[in-house]
Structure 1
Amino acid sequence: MKFHGVLFFPVTPFAPDGSLDGERLARHIESGVAAGAGGVFVACGTGEFHALTAEEIERATRIAVEAVDGRVPVLAAAGGPPPVARDQAARIRRAGADGILLLPPYLVSAPQRGLVRYVEEVSGASDLPVIFYQRGTTRLTEATAAEIAALPRVVGLKDGVGDIERMHRIVRAVRAVPGTEDFQFFNGLPTAEMTAPAYRGIGVELYSSAVFAFAPEIALAFHRALTEGDETLVTTLLDEFYGPLVQLRDEVPGYAVALIKAGVTVRGLDVGGVRAPLLDPTPEHMARLTELIAHGLEVVAA
């Protein structure tokens, strides 16, 4: 399972009664794949994994698999307490996904050996490939990362910590392990385009693009400019779109998800609001987001 291009993390639409809106999710995913997504990661961070039931994760995965119809890989998230994560992994497998994005256990600090044990136990719940997501309290040493990378089903490591020096050591340590030539690394920071140039410098070229969910034109233009060395467009988009978006994102906790969902609605597909404990953007912030999207589209069109 190899990834290329921009990775799509769809939002999870909710109907007026608060239930998962399968029809809108299918439309959202179809439009992203048609736009050129290199992979679909459903029911993950941008998809409000933290607020979904196990049944909803399984249903969202099944919808994604049907909508994608084999055109690109489909992965879904599992995580949290080991028994819960194992159940989610089994459900994702049953729904027909190509792999699992394994989020770490929450609210606990664990020794490095315990993190290896966690990945071993959850990855053993299915035969699917696993990408492990280090973030929050889960910070791997290079030795632990190399040990996890050598596990039979682990095919990738996604970084949501943002410690470039640590991540550089991890990349070098994993690459030194025989048989890891195809192991893939991902930049999983919020609004990853802001740090994509730095991550490319340490050999991490793949990243999750939340912006792709509502403005694939901007996300694809940025990725193309970054790949082709168009520093003028990269700098313009960072200065005039991504930078201001991050400033808005940081004004309210949870906006890394809420703004993305609002952006999808701005672009014409009403996907409903976010679930608690997140809050939807205020009218003022919605206006700023709408202006930012319009300007970003103007930049790439020019």
Structure 2
Amino acid sequence: MRLDGVLFFPITPFASDGRLDEEALRQHVERGVSHGAGGVFAACGTGEFNALGLDEYERVVRISVEATAGRVPVFSGAGGSLPFARSCAEAASRAGADGLLLLPPYLVSAPAEGLVNYFHEVTTATDLPAIVYQRGNARFTPASAVELARLPNVMGFKDGLGDLDLLQRIILAVRQATDREFTFFNGLPTAEMTVLAYRGMGVSLYSSAVFCFVPEVALGFHKAVTAGDDELVRRLLGEFYRPLVELRDLMPGYAVALVKAGVTLRGLAAGPVRPPLLDAAPEHVARLERLIARGLEIVGC
């Protein structure tokens, strides 16, 4: 199954007592797929991978697979310490995931060669295809990206740094070194803000946190970009996405907390975030509600 269109990164709902809300998760994933998501990425950054125990992680992946019912591919996160990352990969395989999004190793800074070794060790835990996420303490050189692309189970590279010069050199190096199918992704927060720049380098796939809570706007933006509707793209960027980014940047962790608040505003109780994140302040939730209304107005919903 191929990834296409807008990629959906579900939140992980928690009940008021802090436990995983399995029914809310099921509804959330079902709604997203029904709206037209091109792929589901469960238990990743937006899904608070960092806050899940291994048992919870496996349940999140299994529920996401069941709710998706084979309509689109389901990838799940794996990262942290090497033993934990390998355990996540094994759990994802048991739960029926179609692939993995490999997140950075825990905390430590390491040379690119060591990162390649880390991701090699994780990918040997299962036969699942994997996408490597460049962000934080996982930063690659063009030469090390080529080594990644040569790992049998690695099928893609997701960029969360935003260093376009580096990414262009990585793309060129990988394309010149191998003729195998290898996909690049835009993985910046609120990726719609940089979609036009990434598309200029041939990178069309991107994560959309906005799809979690206002899929109408995310899909409207994607359609406008692909159809060349520059005026609608400009309006959505200026009147919805830019104010959303400014709101997101008011507090560390709002890339998750605001998305959860948005899901709740749209009628599905997402519950709180887990520490160390903080829930969005009431005044910021009110601003988000106005932004949602404005975005829906722009796309005619």
What TM-score does the superposition give when structure 1 sets the normalisation length? 0.98
Residue in structure 1 matched with residue 109 of structure 2 by the alignment: 109
Give secondary structure in 2 for the equivalent of 1:218: helix
Deviation at 1:273, TM superposition (A): 1.0
2:54 corresponds to 1:54? yes
Residue in structure 2 matched with residue 142 of structure 1 by the alignment: 142
Q: Which amino acid aligns with 1:185?
A: F
Residue in structure 1 matched with residue 96 of structure 2 by the alignment: 96
Residue in structure 2 matched with residue 251 of structure 1 by the alignment: 250
Residue in structure 2 matched with residue 197 of structure 1 by the alignment: 196
Larger CA deviation: 1-10 vs 70-79: 1-10
Q: Which amino acid aligns with 1:206?
A: L
CA separation in 1, counterparts of 2:195 and 2:14?
Answer: 31
CA separation in 1, counterparts of 2:196 and 2:179?
Answer: 27
CA separation in 2, counterparts of 1:5 and 1:196?
Answer: 13
CA separation in 2, counterparts of 1:138 and 1:116?
Answer: 10
Q: Which amino acid aligns with 1:292?
A: L
Deviation at 1:265, TM superposition (A): 0.3
Residue in structure 1 matched with residue 17 of structure 2 by the alignment: 17
Q: Which amino acid aligns with 2:242?
A: G
Deviation at 1:17, TM superposition (A): 1.1
Give secondary structure in 2 for the equivalent of 1:199: helix
Residue in structure 2 matched with residue 267 of structure 1 by the alignment: 266
Q: Which amino acid aligns with 1:36?
A: G
Residue in structure 2 matched with residue 184 of structure 1 by the alignment: 183
Residue in structure 1 matched with residue 293 of structure 2 by the alignment: 294
CA separation in 2, counterparts of 1:190 and 1:20?
Answer: 24
The 5 A counterparts of 1:114-263 are: 114-180=114-180, 182-263=181-262
Deviations 1:86-144 (A, max 9, x none): 01100000001000000011321111110110011000000100000010011100111
Give secondary structure in 1 for the equivalent of 2:242: helix
CA separation in 1, counterparts of 2:75 and 2:57?
Answer: 11
Confirm or deny: 8 A CA contact 1:134 1:158 kept in the other structure.
yes
CA separation in 1, counterparts of 2:178 and 2:154?
Answer: 14
CA separation in 1, counterparts of 2:64 and 2:27?
Answer: 10
Q: Which amino acid aligns with 2:159?
A: D
Give secondary structure in 1 for the equivalent of 2:291: helix
Deviation at 1:150, TM superposition (A): 1.1
Structure 1, unpaired ranges of 5+: none
Give secondary structure in 1 for the equivalent of 2:40: strand
Deviation at 1:259, TM superposition (A): 0.3
Q: Which amino acid aligns with 1:295?
A: R
Deviation at 1:287, TM superposition (A): 0.5
Confirm or deny: 8 A CA contact 1:43 1:57 kept in the other structure.
yes
Give secondary structure in 2 for the equivalent of 1:279: coil
CA separation in 2, counterparts of 1:169 and 1:202?
Answer: 10
Give secondary structure in 2 for the equivalent of 1:195: helix
User: How many pairs are equivalent?
Assistant: 301
Deviation at 1:177, TM superposition (A): 2.2
Residue in structure 1 matched with residue 37 of structure 2 by the alignment: 37
Deviations 1:267-286 (A, max 9, x none): 00011010001111111101
Structure 2, unpaired ranges of 5+: none
CA separation in 1, counterparts of 2:300 and 2:173?
Answer: 42
Confirm or deny: 8 A CA contact 1:26 1:67 kept in the other structure.
yes
Indicate the percent of aligned positions where both proteins have the same amino acid: 64
Give secondary structure in 2 for the equivalent of 1:128: coil
2:100 corresponds to 1:82? no
The 5 A counterparts of 1:271-282 are: 271-282=270-281
Give secondary structure in 1 for the equivalent of 2:140: coil
Deviation at 1:228, TM superposition (A): 1.0
Confirm or deny: 8 A CA contact 1:171 1:203 kept in the other structure.
no
Residue in structure 1 matched with residue 65 of structure 2 by the alignment: 65
CA separation in 2, counterparts of 1:178 and 1:52?
Answer: 36
Confirm or deny: 8 A CA contact 1:57 1:76 kept in the other structure.
no
Deviation at 1:202, TM superposition (A): 0.9
- C-alpha RMSD over aligned residues: 0.8
What TM-score does the superposition give when structure 2 sets the normalisation length? 0.99
Deviation at 1:179, TM superposition (A): 2.9
Deviation at 1:163, TM superposition (A): 0.3
Deviation at 1:300, TM superposition (A): 0.4
2:282 corresponds to 1:283? yes
Give secondary structure in 1 for the equivalent of 2:177: coil
